[in-house]
Amino acid sequence: MIDLSGLWQFQMDPQGEGEAQGWFRALPAPRVIPVPCSWNDLFDDARTYLGLAWYRTEVWVPAGWRGRRVYLRIGSATYAAKVWVNGTLVMEHLGGSLPFAAEITERLAWDRPNIIAIAVENEPRPDRVPPGPAPGGGGVLGVAGGFPGTTYDFFPYTGLHRQVWLCAVPDVHIDDITAVTTIEDTDGIVSVTVAAAGDYAGEGQARLGGIEVDLAFRSGAAEATLRVPAARFWSPQDPHLYPLTVTLTDNQRVTDTYTLDIGIRTVAVRGDQLLLNGQPIKLTGFGKHEDFALSGRGLNLPMWIRDYELLRWIGANSYRTSHYPYPEEVMQLADRLGVLVINEIPAVGLNFAVPEPLTQQRLAQALTELRELIARDKNHPSTLMWSVANEPVARPPNGNEPQSQPQKQEAIEAGTQFFRRLYEEAYRLDGTRPVTLVGVGGGPREWHEPFDVVCINRYYGWYALGGQLDRAAQVLARDLDELHQVYGKPIIITEFGADTLPGVHADPPEMWSEEYQVEFLRRYLDVAAQRPFMAGMHVWAFADFKTTQGVGRAGGMNLKGVFTRDRRPKMAAHFLRSRWVGA
């Protein structure tokens, strides 16, 4: 493998003329950009630019790779990408948070540098997931009419956000591994399914610790089961990982091998309880964003190491990848450190009072993102459940159009079919984890019906009943009891919080003060603690983050973090630590 991260050439293409002019061979007026990174915080003229831009680099391919199959793999390109190698278009991709790859063996030069060019754009279009806003309309509370226009409350960072790799593999190689774990008494059972490229019909082995079983491939597929006596079950208290190694052999000669770390554990829902390894678990933690100054949404490993340290300090055992999948390194850290993750596709800002063809286009993209996410993260023990959407609504996209009751019911039914299809696909691809949808206050309750866990975002005391925390707690309690009475499922509040200006104080507590944030969180945690069906509480948000400019967002920031954007604790962080750790 060769990591192509580093300094690339970069040029914006606001007129969309680069492809016709052959910019995939040479950029006419390039400047330097780091990869991975977002471009918005680097260049003044690109601060709010979401249109087409080009990346270009050159790389020598090692002569020792001759005879192997070479792939180009892009970790993330937000949102739409086209990729050229030596002047030939080799792949296109939609969706800004997951990897994609193509074999480029036949396009390579071995006696000169190879030119790799990637064109990326993040135009806010209504047929995408997440969708762009309707003309003249805004989206969610706090960003209606914001700039740049979005249907979600975070900044639409754009660019190559994760590494670009060259990978060389043997002609016959391991293409995929699926490891499913179950528990029998004190033993761990690991069911392994291996796919090899082509119609491989040879032999192989699967090894877990000192346990080894043979693999007999037919048409490129093989299955095996390994039993681990007296296994250590993966959990936040003991995040033990077992190395699973798969090999392909030809007359006892190893032709390919791959190792991944797995955790033996089970996740289930029983009644109104969420179970980990057969025992009820309560989630403590946050909704987060992959957001930091200068790097934007680009992979920032120092930030992530600090974030995991702060999660441990504050007593959190979980978070949600709001509102898009996070980097693979981040999931690997969660595995090693014992952090549970609600893994979410980028289906945020969805509305269903739109023409049916538009809904079907969005469904096709959401299904693609769900399949890509499960394929990438199915083996991570930290992945607790899949989330297929955040805060979908049945109202018209601009929020101002009148809507009759029949129109509203039609939109609700469209959403019902949409989300049932996503649930069925998630369960088909991975029947070992719960699937959820995160609902917004005032959103259709019917959409929770097919899902295993009821996840909701609530802001009584902020967007509604602002400054009235006692009344807000009463309304929240009634809301939770009604949901439990209807569905009888575990409930998780996946967002609750109040914007807070660091250093602003008020006694008695008033909105925007640090004291108000503490009292807001206290009321919600108290209400949840009185209800055994509550499976978790995720504060919004872990840290302050950048969003669009608007009258509801001072400084273009969402300030609901219990840490500042540079990870300094507010009073609320110390309060949560006293609540979750007892310190």
The whole-angstrom distance between residue 50's C-alpha and the CA centroid of its chain comes to: 21
Which is catalytic among the residues 369, 372, 391, 514?
391
Is the distance from CB of 550 to CB of 144 less than 8 angstroms?
yes
401 tagged catalytic: no
Token pair of 30 as six digits = 């390039």
- Residue recorded with tokens 């962080």: 573
Sign of CA dihedral 301, 303, 307, 310: positive
Instruction: Say how far apart CA 83 and CA 16 lie, in whole Å.
Output: 15
Q: Which residues contact 129 (CB under 8 A, 6 or more apart)?
A: 95, 345, 346, 347, 350, 362, 365, 366, 369
Q: CB 557: neighbour CB atoms within 10 A?
A: 19
- Active site annotation includes 391: yes
- Exposed (0-12), middle (13-18) or buried (19+): which is 206, by Cβ within 10 Å? buried
Distance between CA atoms of residues 240 and 243, nearest Å: 10
Chain centroid to Cα 26, Å, comes to 34
Instruction: Quote the DSSP letter at residue 329.
Output: H
Helix (H) or strand (E) holding 576: helix 571-580
- 3-state secondary structure (DSSP) of residue 308: helix
Crossing angle of helices 405-429 and 356-377, rounded to 10°: 20
Question: For 411, phi and psi rounded to 5 degrees?
Answer: -65, -40
CA–CA dist 296, 301 (Å, integer): 13
Q: Compute and round to an integer the Cα radius of gyration of the chain.
A: 24
Exactly one of 121, 328, 344, 495 is catalytic; which is it?
495
Residue at token pair 């120092």? 302
C-alpha to C-alpha distance for 56 and 29, rounded to whole angstroms: 12
Annotated catalytic residues are: 391, 495
